[in-house]
């Protein structure tokens, strides 16, 4: 059917008019509803934009300081463990027992916050000092580094270069020219051999978790908040360093590779490029990757406790972490294994490891985990068995009282 242009225009006009009325009606209904909504009746306080902005700033500064405090605390314990166990690590490096930072270490609004809170500028200043080191006795947070071995290090690049070329071994003498307030002083820090692993604190991760990445230990904030003592933290860090030392990540990757090669071989033998469909192939590959997962966890627990004890932490009460984990976090894990041992068996393994360590201490034996070192492929010189490490004791804020 054909309509004339005039009829079409008239129909369009009537349609638009009807739609406008409908929209107006809907808006009216909505306003009526809003008017009927219940509102608060208390005369609570308001806040100006300036007041809120000032509080935002305060809270951001508090969060920044807290993050630095927690990171330093954790790194202090990590440092103790990689320092006191350096003779068991095949790959080592040297550390002066403190870290530095300058404005270029940060970015965005953090630069402004650190400038305001710590007077951070382009000159490197002491950021962290690790407990029990020579540095802890001579320098303090905020001390500025003016020169290293007579070289001006006021720029970031010069600083990094001077540090890198200076710290090669523990016999090397390095002289720092420092500035505290308006006074300068010199400082010759002792260099410490440490396991060559890194540490990363996931401040924004609420999970109760920590893991090892082959060369790095990653610690989630949820785990930090769950930990009650330095010993519990040492238990976790020792465990993760144990994973790295025993190359568990590499071994799992190799197992994964072997499974993939096996699937490829099956396809070749069956002369079918997809003899095993993806679903089953993935199950096989995942199973192979995790085939020794529980055993690797047990090994990391075993070695980790040695690491923590060798670093001076008494693990007697630290293993209660696994009982708390069962009670507060996952009752299911008490008797159920996942990729990790169940918490009940884990507690018993650790208790027996603790007894083994105490027995060695009593007999004056070196605190070396019972490992078939030849099989590890680690270039560790145990011909001269190290004597037990002197055991300093630490109070809760990690001040050495030895």
For binding to Zn ion (CB under 5 A), which residues are involved? 297, 300
Question: CB of residue 320 vs Zn ion: minimum separation in angstroms?
Answer: 18
Question: CB of residue 399 vs Zn ion: minimum separation in angstroms?
Answer: 30
The residue whose two tokens read 């993806």 is 278
CA atoms within 13 A on the CB side of 129: 18
Question: CB of residue 300 vs Zn ion: minimum separation in angstroms?
Answer: 5
- Nearer to Zn ion by Cβ, of 176 and 306: the residue is 306
Say how many residues make up the chain: 402
Question: CB of residue 101 vs Zn ion: minimum separation in angstroms?
Answer: 31
Measure the CA–CA gap between 243 and 216, rounded to whole angstroms: 10
For residue 255 the two structure tokens come to: 């197992």
- Nearer to Zn ion by Cβ, of 133 and 333: the residue is 333
- Nearer to Zn ion by Cβ, of 221 and 239: the residue is 239
Q: How far is CA 66 from the centre of its chain?
A: 15
- Nearer to Zn ion by Cβ, of 274 and 338: the residue is 338
- Nearer to Zn ion by Cβ, of 101 and 211: the residue is 211
Measure the CA–CA gap between 61 and 265, rounded to whole angstroms: 59
Question: CB of residue 145 vs Zn ion: minimum separation in angstroms?
Answer: 38
- Nearer to Zn ion by Cβ, of 300 and 311: the residue is 300
Angle ∠(212,284,249) on CA atoms, nearest 5: 15
Question: CB of residue 212 vs Zn ion: minimum separation in angstroms?
Answer: 7
- Nearer to Zn ion by Cβ, of 11 and 336: the residue is 336
- Nearer to Zn ion by Cβ, of 124 and 298: the residue is 298
Sign of CA dihedral 237, 239, 245, 250: negative
- Nearer to Zn ion by Cβ, of 72 and 244: the residue is 244
Question: CB of residue 312 vs Zn ion: minimum separation in angstroms?
Answer: 22
Measure the CA–CA gap between 354 and 357, rounded to whole angstroms: 5
DSSP string, 213-253: -SSEEEEEHHHHHH--SHHHHHHHHHHHHHHHHTTHHHHHH
Contact predicate 237/312, CB 8 Å: no
Question: CB of residue 210 vs Zn ion: minimum separation in angstroms?
Answer: 8
Question: CB of residue 394 vs Zn ion: minimum separation in angstroms?
Answer: 24
Question: CB of residue 350 vs Zn ion: minimum separation in angstroms?
Answer: 13
- Nearer to Zn ion by Cβ, of 187 and 322: the residue is 322
């Amino acid at each position: 059917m054909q309509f004339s242009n005039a009829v079409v225009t008239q129909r369009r006009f009537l349609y638009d008019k009807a739609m406008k009325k409908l929209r107006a009606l809907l808006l009216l209904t909505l306003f009526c509803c809003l008017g009927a909504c219940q509102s608060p009746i208390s005369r609570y306080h308001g806040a100006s934009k300036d007041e809120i902005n000032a509080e935002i700033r305060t809270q951001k500064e508090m969060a920044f300081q807290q993050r630095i405090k927690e990171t330093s605390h954790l790194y202090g314990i990590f440092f103790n463990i990689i320092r006191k166990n350096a003779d068991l690590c095949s790959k080592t490096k040297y550390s002066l027992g403190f870290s530095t930072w300058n404005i270029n270490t940060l970015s965005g609004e953090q630069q402004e916050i650190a400038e305001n809170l710590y007077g951070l500028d382009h000159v490197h200043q002491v950021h962290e000092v690790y407990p029990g080191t020579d540095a802890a006795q001579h320098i303090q947070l905020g001390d500025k580094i003016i020169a290293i071995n007579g070289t001006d290090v006021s720029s970031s690049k010069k600083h990094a270069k001077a540090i890198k070329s200076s710290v090669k071994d523990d016999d090397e003498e390095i002289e720092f020219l420092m500035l505290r307030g308006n006074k300068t002083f010199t400082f010759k820090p002792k260099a410490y051999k440490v396991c060559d692993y890194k540490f990363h604190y996931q401040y924004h991760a609420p999970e109760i978790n920590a893991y090892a990445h082959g060369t790095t230990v990653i610690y989630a904030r949820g785990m930090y908040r769950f930990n009650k003592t330095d010993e519990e933290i040492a238990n976790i860090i020792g465990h993760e360093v144990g994973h790295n030392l025993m190359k568990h990540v590499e071994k799992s990757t190799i197992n994964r590779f072997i499974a993939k090669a096996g699937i490829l071989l099956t396809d070749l033998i069956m002369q079918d490029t997809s003899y095993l469909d993806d679903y089953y192939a993935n199950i096989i590959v995942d199973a192979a990757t995790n085939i020794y997962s529980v055993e690797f966890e047990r090994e990391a627990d075993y070695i980790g406790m040695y690491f923590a004890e060798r670093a001076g932490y008494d693990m007697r009460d630290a293993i209660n972490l696994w009982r708390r984990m069962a009670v507060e976090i996952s009752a299911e894990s008490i008797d159920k294994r996942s990729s990790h041992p169940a918490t009940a068996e884990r507690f018993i393994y650790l208790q027996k490891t603790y007894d083994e360590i105490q027995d060695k201490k009593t007999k004056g034996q070196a605190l070396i985990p019972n490992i078939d070192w030849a099989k590890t492929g680690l270039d560790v010189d145990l011909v001269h068995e190290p004597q037990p490490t002197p055991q300093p004791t630490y109070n809760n804020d990690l001040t050495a009282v030895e």
